[in-house]
Structure 1
Amino acid sequence: MTNRPPSEPESSQKTALGFDEFIAILVAFATIGAILFWSLSRRDSSWNLNGLLSPSPTPSRSVQPNQVLPFPTPKVEPNAAPNNLLPSSPPEAVVEPKAPAFPSSSGAVLPSAQVIPTQYPQPQTPVSSSTGLESSIITSSALPLVTPAKQKSIIPPPIAFNDVPDNFWGRRFIDVLSSRGILKGFPDYSFRPNQPVNRAEFATILQKAFNQEPSKSAIAFQDVPAKFWANSAIDQAISAGFLKGYPKKTFKPQQNITRVQVLVALVSGLNLKKPTSQNQILSVYKDAKNIPSYATSKIAAATANGLVVNYPNSQILAPNKAATRAEVAAMIHQALVKRGKLARISSQNIVRRPSPSQASGSMSPKLSPTPKQNLKSSTQG
């Protein structure tokens, strides 16, 4: 017998798949497709593989066994700020913060957000967070900056004095000064507008009205005790040039101050210039002859600058009459208007500087009989 080489095995014929095998393969593909569809259709599937690979203080989310990540987690730059997303915001909305995110005091690190390109953007709804980090900017447009306006000074309402009616002639002057604390009333909520003012009280009003600086060298008046209640006000009124003492180092703090002394003090303290036409200005007063000679130029300056307030007749100055609290309030108010501290008040009791025609008309009857005598009297007044 001859040894023959082994014959090659005949190829088996291809057998067709059976029905059971076809059903099994179909079920396997359907299961895989369902798992893929379910994983891609989830609204919040922000998986973080970095959190699984590296240790982190924040606990990572639990991964379901059947979850499949179709795409790897995007690489996070080391210096990039964390993308702070609200819990209900879509994972595919990548937020580019305009301002650097500030770390919280607890040191917690937010997990990085995944990007799934197949998701459609969903409307964002703000959700309150306890950590304070999730309230950062979630849109690319920056909010406009609002500069706070300068706070305005609030002036309290005036004091409702029970003895100052609404139709009182000096009500508006008193209201303005009382609302600013320059004038105060008495414990029974009265103002006593017709009560005289002494020199010590007037010095105190000047101190509050003009914010005078403390006196560097005080004068030791013989009639002012060392612990007198108005010592500082008297010293400041004298140092500012409003008031002066009397001979023999006396001040007479309890003496009532007259209307002419109030006007002279205000003109001296404001350093108002002497007007050129004194006689013409003083001709507006019917009792100009009663003005003391030392005060004629001061009263003319007070009239020219609108400091004089007369009631009930604006043409009657009554210079030697004791000044009342209401009259002092009105004249102090006009002095503050002159200095630019208060707004003007329209009142018929404020004396206006007479025009040249009015002055000539009022002086013509006096000059007709005896010009020399009238000239002499006008010079003294």
Structure 2
Amino acid sequence: MTNTPPDPRSSQRNALGFDEFIAILVAFATIGAVLFWAFSRRDSGWNFNVLPSPSPTASVAVPPATQIQPNANSNLNTVPPSAPPATVDQPTLVNPSPSPGAIPTLILPFPVAPAAPPQVQLSPSPNIQEPFRVVTPSEQKSTIPPPIAFNDVPNDFWASRFINVLSSRRIIKGFPDYSFRPNQPVTRAEFAAILEEAFNNKLATNAIAFDDIPENYWANPAIKQAINTGFLKGYPDKTFKPNQRIPRVQVLVALVSGLNLKEPTSADKTLSVFKDAKEIPNYAIGKTAAATANNLVVNYPDPNTFAPNREATRGEVAAMVHQALVRTGRLQPIQSENIVRSPQ
């Protein structure tokens, strides 16, 4: 009895062969491994560049993952929904060995500079007081008023600069009619009043009473001060003679005595500058030489003519008192051709 050969179409409906079963198993295992790895790496940003290159022997193609663009309203921490994978038995996975020539690509994170801490701008609190600052007061500069504009002292008057300096400091004053009367002689009482304003020394307690000075006399305080400070002296008969016109030589003797100026050793040599030196009284030779050596003598019109016994005018007294204040350092010197320079 002869057997009928098998129908070729029936062989296609038979059970899978061993090779086909192994191929299907490997395919499912690979798909499951890829899905497992993908879900475990979802927090790293779906970076597929770190996947190792598969062996050239692998023949199963893996479909590329669908890139999902999150919108502004979606939650970035939520994995987009997808169809659940089929349940597959976990096979034993064998890591394919990479090819000897392949070098894995190392991806380094982009360095991010640390953000600088925000600067806090502090506003001063109204309750916090500023530190105390020590301020050194600057030296107060004295303000000198302008000189008195006397109507009888023109700018080209020989003693105008001396008069202006003293009048601006109120050392000398004029008359109610705004005149100074520079050529008018000066009395002893008037000279005492000028000395009081110029040197302003403290009044001593031991005042000398003169028979010709009443207590209510207008120049009595100035006379007492001039006597006690050594500028002036009275006469042996206990008189002062306040209305006597003072000569030029007595003005210089008074200034040298009050300033305690030292007399030069050779008075004759010092006084040789004057043409009329022989007219100087004996009691005044040393004092006049001291006045000449200290540039106190001012002569007009001829600097070499002293005229010691001539009555001193108000202009001449102003010039000599000015030079005495220059000698004490209270005033700056003035250049004038009428100031007598002692011979060297």
TM-score tier after normalising by the smaller chain length: 0.5 to 0.7
1:294-326: CA deviations, max 9, x gaps?
100110010000000000000100000000000
Task: Letter of the 1:302 partner, please give it.
Answer: A
| 1:101 equivalent among 118, 128, 137 | 128
Question: Where does residue 187 of structure 1 map in the other structure?
Answer: 176
Question: Where does residue 159 of structure 1 map in the other structure?
Answer: 148
Q: RMSD of aligned C-alpha atoms?
A: 2.5
| 1:254 equivalent among 243, 254, 279 | 243
Question: Where does residue 193 of structure 2 map in the other structure?
Answer: 204
Q: Does 1:307 align with 2:307?
A: no
**Number of equivalent positions:** 229
Question: Where does residue 46 of structure 1 map in the other structure?
Answer: none
For residues 176 and 252 of structure 1, the distance between their equivalents in structure 2, rounded to whole angstroms, comes to 29
For residues 143 and 238 of structure 1, the distance between their equivalents in structure 2, rounded to whole angstroms, comes to 53
Give secondary structure in 2 for the equivalent of 1:260. helix
Question: Where does residue 311 of structure 2 map in the other structure?
Answer: 322
CA shift, 1:150, in A, is 2.3
Question: Where does residue 271 of structure 2 map in the other structure?
Answer: 282
Question: Where does residue 215 of structure 1 map in the other structure?
Answer: 204
- Would the alpha carbon gap of residues 236 and 95 (structure 1) be closer, same or farther in structure 2, given more than 3 Å must change? same
Percent sequence identity is: 65
For residues 127 and 333 of structure 2, the distance between their equivalents in structure 1, rounded to whole angstroms, comes to 54
CA shift, 1:351, in A, is 0.2
Task: Letter of the 2:313 partner, please give it.
Answer: T
For residues 263 and 313 of structure 1, the distance between their equivalents in structure 2, rounded to whole angstroms, comes to 18
Task: Letter of the 1:305 partner, please give it.
Answer: N
Question: Where does residue 238 of structure 1 map in the other structure?
Answer: 227
| 2:254 equivalent among 265, 270, 280 | 265
Question: Where does residue 149 of structure 1 map in the other structure?
Answer: 138
For residues 232 and 146 of structure 1, the distance between their equivalents in structure 2, rounded to whole angstroms, comes to 43
For residues 192 and 127 of structure 2, the distance between their equivalents in structure 1, rounded to whole angstroms, comes to 61
Q: Does 1:332 align with 2:321?
A: yes
For residues 182 and 94 of structure 1, the distance between their equivalents in structure 2, rounded to whole angstroms, comes to 62
Task: Letter of the 1:280 partner, please give it.
Answer: K
1:149-179: CA deviations, max 9, x gaps?
3221101000111100110000000000000
Task: Letter of the 1:217 partner, please give it.
Answer: N
For residues 256 and 137 of structure 2, the distance between their equivalents in structure 1, rounded to whole angstroms, comes to 42
Structure 2 unaligned spans of 5+: 1-119
Question: Where does residue 218 of structure 2 map in the other structure?
Answer: 229
- Would the alpha carbon gap of residues 145 and 256 (structure 1) be closer, same or farther in structure 2, given more than 3 Å must change? same
Task: Letter of the 1:352 partner, please give it.
Answer: R
CA shift, 1:215, in A, is 2.2
For residues 271 and 262 of structure 2, the distance between their equivalents in structure 1, rounded to whole angstroms, comes to 16
Task: Letter of the 2:271 partner, please give it.
Answer: L
CA shift, 1:203, in A, is 0.4
For residues 300 and 325 of structure 1, the distance between their equivalents in structure 2, rounded to whole angstroms, comes to 22
- Would the alpha carbon gap of residues 143 and 325 (structure 1) be closer, same or farther in structure 2, given more than 3 Å must change? same
CA shift, 1:276, in A, is 0.7
Instruction: Report runs of 4+ in structure 1 exceeding 4 Å deviation.
Output: 142-148
CA shift, 1:247, in A, is 1.6
CA shift, 1:101, in A, is 2.8
Q: TM-score, normalised by structure 1?
A: 0.57
For residues 151 and 270 of structure 1, the distance between their equivalents in structure 2, rounded to whole angstroms, comes to 28
Give secondary structure in 2 for the equivalent of 1:178. helix
- Would the alpha carbon gap of residues 276 and 152 (structure 1) be closer, same or farther in structure 2, given more than 3 Å must change? same
1:351-378: CA deviations, max 9, x gaps?
00113xxxxxxxxxxxxxxxxxxxxxxx
CA shift, 1:217, in A, is 1.2
Task: Letter of the 1:266 partner, please give it.
Answer: L
For residues 310 and 346 of structure 1, the distance between their equivalents in structure 2, rounded to whole angstroms, comes to 14
Q: TM-score, normalised by structure 2?
A: 0.63
CA shift, 1:218, in A, is 1.1
For residues 209 and 293 of structure 2, the distance between their equivalents in structure 1, rounded to whole angstroms, comes to 36
Task: Letter of the 2:321 partner, please give it.
Answer: I
1:95-146: CA deviations, max 9, x gaps?
255x9636xxxxxxxxxxxxxxxxxxxxxxxxxxxxxxxxxx8xxxx99986
